[in-house]
Amino acid sequence: MTRKRAKLCAWLVGAMAAMSASGASAVTLAEDADTVCKGLIGGADAVKIDSATLQAPSPLAVAERGPTPSGRITPANPGFCKVLGHIDPVDPKAPPIKFQVNLPVEWNGRSVQYGGGGFNGVLITGLGLPPAYPFDKPSPLARGYVTYGTDSGHESKPGEPPQVFALND
């Protein structure tokens, strides 16, 4: 898994370099952010970008119920490029490692990886608040951080124990 994480980090650095090379400064996407965002689609070697779409800013939303207190909150987010992709596994029988990277239009030069913990089994989007994060503070994405997460190469299926992924070496 370490080599795959290194490939994702290398891709992230490359994406930031591509944003800078296409007319953007080190902290802001080019004037035509939608074109820059869509230009990320494609891939090389084992890392593939399946989609890249510019998302409009969204307001804060608080649900009446949620799985956790932070799960009730959908933080306000700025305009950002939502990148969905996958990394091909070494074992062709294994599922791909899916990832989501959120590139803010105004980047502060830093990034935050959202972890899965436990058995994972779902794609971690990096759009919510991190665990134990203050509710009254802007989300990392709203503060200009690139946020990203993965499914660690497996998706839980209904009726299947979450540990079944461990049967694949």
- The domain spans of the chain are 2-167
Predicted structure pTM score:
0.77
Whether the Cβ atoms of residue 38 and residue 22 lie closer than 8 Å to each other:
no
pLDDT at residue 38 is higher than 80: yes
pLDDT digits (tens, 9 = 90+) for 113-124: 988 766 677 888
3-state SS, residue 142: coil
Q: What CA–CA distance (Å, rounded) separates 64 from 119?
A: 27
Task: Give me Rg for the CA atoms of the chain.
Answer: 17
pLDDT digits (tens, 9 = 90+) for 147-156: 999 988 888 8
DSSP-based helix, strand, coil % in the chain, nearest 5: 20, 25, 55
Q: What's the burial of 42, exposed, middle or buried (CB within 10 Å: 0-12/13-18/19+)?
A: exposed
